[in-house]
A and B are shown apart, each in its own frame.
Chain A
């Protein structure tokens, strides 16, 4: 198990490094610069600005300097929000995004598995039918449409919930539901499918023939094994939540990282882009790592395979 963990952590560092390097150089390849505006600067002023921010030096040297600053915990100041350190922007913008993502992930996992178990247990019933209908809609409806329908219904017509912002608990309901619906649907379907498959296994028949009650077999024996594929899904789901939260944050005007993600690239705000990439990258890598480790812990065959 130990060498498995070490191997996975090294891999995580490699992917993160790739992400950062690729973003840095792709960003610089793109035409345009951070201080291009409507007015054209005289050449000397442009040269001065470039010299102040070190933009006149070879790209590789600039990258080396950026890494050096990073190791000192300094992400530099934003080019666009002049005088504001990138670390400060990240510190203010991360909590709402993380809260939104974490609540949505927890709800989609809990409600998703519960719905999946219920539909597998009461297969063919009205409950099964309606929760699978919900699941199919969740997978096929684009999130912006879900958000619009929810806001129109609960804010405009019924007036029960606020249509935007991220302040008290009631304002969190609509964004969380929007973000959680799709992963919830995927998890519910997956749980139902695997649970129905597992129920045909020999050891389940054995448990039944020992005289155990149906619900005991379901919860004690079948559920545990059918959760394995669901847990492997959590990695990609967490990644898609990070991306998906961009739309949700935009629609609901949540002051999270989403608002900086696209604008920083369009503004060619190099330090902010790199800071955002770093945060997203670390989150993604951590999610994948956690899932890999959990998977290796649940299913020993994975550890052996990975070390071959």
Chain B
């Protein structure tokens, strides 16, 4: 543990993320008002005493809305990243370990998803399942798991040639046991690094989709939805967009530095995390 906290970036980003998670989890207790309570203050007030981030067009407290937004944004980021981690790891591991026909079939599926434009998929999914959490979850999950699958496949391809795999086989373990009990646990380092880069990238995607109106709908207040609401009055009421944007920026920075430091600590050789979100 000591070597982790020696890295200042790691310590700082962990502290920031812990505070953020705390605020998100206990939002109902911390927020001075419910996120959808209309008219609790004057309309479109700039930050004043009692409303530290000001109020929006319906007199809702922006601070409360941003707090609840942390819940939604972090939840979407985590859930989609876990989804793509599980699905991508399964696919990539099977393709990489068994090779041959398996590899060809699985990887051609991966390639098809890889080129599917995320925006188009998101639109089509919102038509099928409606705008909201499920649509956004599927749109992000289905377009990001392929990156994970490619990464895991490449890692398994290298790992399966190592002596411990042969040793495990010689001891009579089945292929699946070798793969899931021995190879995958050994790849945890790079996979965790990839996860810490995937979460912020997904949070950014969620805010992008909500900003263009495909994501979570009002009165839900994800940071993208709030930014979308604030964008309409940007000249006169910049606080409506700046505070949700700032919250998103701080979260992104924290995850970014966490990923960077984890990569240096766990996996000094690889260059994952350079993915484009």
Contact = CB atoms under 8 A, between A and B. Distances in A.
Contacts of B235: 152, 156
Nearest to B207: A142
A247 B120 contact: no
Interface stretch (B26-34, B45-53, B57-65, B268-276): B268-276
A27 B124 contact: yes
Nearest to A261: B119
Nearest to B227: A144
B204 interface: yes
A137 B34 CA distance: 32
A11 B245 CA distance: 40
A130 B249 CA distance: 18
Given A15-B112, A145-B245, A140 B124 contact: no
A285 B124 contact: no
A95 interface: no
Interface stretch (A53-61, A120-128, A234-242): A234-242
In this complex, which of B117, B119, B224 has the most chain A Cβ atoms within 10 angstroms of its Cβ?
B117
Given A18-B112, A22-B116, A23-B120, A30 B127 contact: yes
Contacts of A151: 234
A143 B276 contact: no
A109 interface: no
A40 interface: no
Interface in B237-262: 238, 241, 245, 248-249, 252-253, 256
Contacts of A261: 119-120, 123
A11 to B, nearest CB: 7
Interface in B201-249: 204, 207-208, 211-214, 224, 227, 231, 234-235, 238, 241, 245, 248-249
Nearest to B128: A30
B115 A262 contact: no
A285 B271 CA distance: 25
A135 to B, nearest CB: 10
Contacts of A186: 274, 276
A31 B129 CA distance: 10
A145 B251 CA distance: 14
B208 A148 contact: no
Q: How large is the interface on B (under 10, 10 to 19, 20 to 34, 35 or more residues)?
A: 35 or more
Interface in A208-226: none
By secondary structure, the B interface counts as helix
Contact of A262 (B118, B128, B208, B212): B212
A193 B268 CA distance: 12
A270 interface: no
A141 interface: yes
Nearest to B197: A139
Contact of A239 (B117, B214, B234, B238): B117
A183 interface: yes
B92 interface: no
A280 interface: yes
B274 A233 contact: yes
B200 interface: yes
B7 interface: no
B245 A140 contact: no
A180 B227 CA distance: 21
Nearest to A232: B274
B196 to A, nearest CB: 13
Given A27-B124, A30-B127, A193-B271, A243 B212 contact: no
A142 B230 CA distance: 14
A246 interface: yes
In this complex, which of B120, B127, B204 has the most chain A Cβ atoms within 10 angstroms of its Cβ?
B120
B274 A136 contact: no
A144 B249 contact: no
Interface string B81-125: 000000000000000000000000000000110011111100110
Nearest to B260: A136
Contacts of B39: none
A62 interface: no
Interface in A174-226: 182-183, 186, 189-190, 193-194
A307 to B, nearest CB: 13
A251 B232 CA distance: 10
A284 B253 CA distance: 30
A136 B253 contact: yes
Contact of A23 (B124, B275, B276): B124
A277 B208 CA distance: 20
Contacts of A284: 115, 117
Nearest to A194: B271
Nearest to A287: B115
A189 B253 CA distance: 15
A281 B119 CA distance: 12
A26 B128 contact: yes
A164 interface: no
Given A27-B127, A145-B245, 8 more contacts: A19-B115, A229-B271, A239-B117, A246-B119, A247-B211, A250-B212, A261-B123, A262-B119
8 contacts: A142-B249, A148-B231, A233-B274, A236-B276, A243-B117, A261-B123, A262-B123, A280-B117
Closest 9 CB pairs of A and B: A30-B127, A140-B252, A145-B245, A236-B276, A26-B124, A265-B123, A240-B276, A243-B119, A18-B112
